[in-house]
Amino acid sequence: MAITTQETGQAAAEASGMPQLDPAAFGTQIFWLVVTLVVIYFVLTKIALPRIEGVLAERQSTITNDIAAAEELKQKAIEAEDAYNQALADARAEANKIVAEAKAEIQADVDAAAAKADAEIAAKAAESEAAIAEIRAGAVESVKAVAKDATQDIVAALGGSADAKTITAAITARMKG
């Protein structure tokens, strides 16, 4: 049973465990490690990092522009709110002016109606006072006539006689007080 060198190498590799840990392969492994790291370094510095920097710069520019636009919109919103508040105050003032004018017109109408009603009441009161004075005068005359008739009947019932002139004078004197 002859053992060949190839079988011995396999036996040695199998005996040592993992081939990466074989000290005979360390030189080539270190060479390829350095080559791989250099390639990765150049790929990162020449391709990936400039793209990442560009994206970050663009992002920062977009953020700055958005913040500036937001500040501008905020200022416009403040101006719009001030304009709205001024318009609201003007509208309230105009509404108060209209209400005051309407109140003045209504008060003028009420005053005119009250003056007209007072004039009508005064006219009716004057008419009523005239009618009452007329009724009083008529009542005094009626009372005088009734008193004359009653006095003549009483004097006649008592058995006396009196002329109409004497009865009228007595009744007039008595009515004066």
Digit-coded pLDDT (tens) for 113-160 = 999 999 999 999 999 998 898 888 888 788 888 888 888 888 888 777
Residue type for position 114: A
pTM: 0.41
User: Distance between the two ends of the chain, CA-based, in angstroms?
Assistant: 184
Between CA 7 and CA 90 the distance in angstroms is 105
Give the number of other Cβ atoms within 10 Å of residue 49's Cβ.
11
Kindly report the three-state secondary structure assignment for every residue of 63-116: HHHHHHHHHHHHHHHHHHHHHHHHHHHHHHHHHHHHHHHHHHHHHHHHHHHHHH
Q: Is residue 144 part of a domain?
A: no
Q: Is residue 127 part of a domain?
A: yes
Q: Is residue 147 part of a domain?
A: no
Residue type for position 31: F
- The range of the structural domain enclosing residue 55 comes to 22-136
Q: Is residue 15 part of a domain?
A: no
Lowest-confidence pick of 71-75, 97-101, 164-168: 164-168
Helices (H), 17-48: 26-43
Checking if the pLDDT of 1 tops 60, the result is: no
Checking if the pLDDT of 2 tops 60, the result is: no
Lowest-confidence pick of 10-14, 35-39, 91-95: 10-14
Query: Using the 8-state DSSP alphabet, how is residue 159 labeled?
Result: T
Q: Is residue 165 part of a domain?
A: no
Q: Is the dihedral of CA 37, 39, 40, 46 positive or negative?
A: positive
Q: How many residues does the chain have?
A: 177
Q: Is residue 151 part of a domain?
A: no
The pLDDT assigned to 12 comes to 55
Provide mean pLDDT across the span 7-36: 78
Q: Is residue 96 part of a domain?
A: yes
Q: Is residue 39 part of a domain?
A: yes
Checking if the pLDDT of 176 tops 90, the result is: no
pLDDT band, very low/low/confident/very high, at 5 (cuts 50, 70, 90): low
The label of the residue with tokens 């003045």 reads: 104
> How many domains in the chain?
1
Lookup: tokens for 107 = 């008060």
